Amino acid sequence: MEEISKKDVKHVAKLAELDIREDEIDRFVDQLNIVLKHAGKINEIDTTNVEPTSHATNIINIFRDDIVKKCISKKDALLNSPKTIEDLFEVPLIIEE
Contacts of 87 (CB under 8 A, 6+ apart): 74, 78
Task: Kindly report, residue by residue over 46-79, the tens digit of the pLDDT.
Answer: 999 988 887 788 878 888 899 999 999 988 999 9
Domain membership of residue 14 (yes or no) is yes
Domain membership of residue 29 (yes or no) is yes
Domain membership of residue 12 (yes or no) is yes
pLDDT at 57: 82
Closest CA to 8 of 23, 28, 34: 28
**Phi, psi angle pair for 77, to nearest 5°:** -65, -35
Domain membership of residue 10 (yes or no) is yes
pLDDT at 62: 83
| Contact predicate 1/36, CB 8 Å | yes
pTM of the model: 0.50
| Contact predicate 36/4, CB 8 Å | yes
Domain membership of residue 81 (yes or no) is no
Domain range for 30: 6-43
Find the mean pLDDT for residues 11-24: 94
Weakest mean pLDDT among 29-33, 56-60, 79-83? 56-60
pLDDT at 76: 92
pLDDT at 94: 85
Task: Return the CATH number at 12.
Answer: 1.10.20
Q: pLDDT tier at 97 (50, 70, 90 boundaries)?
A: low
Domain membership of residue 33 (yes or no) is yes
Provide the domain count of the chain. Answer: 1
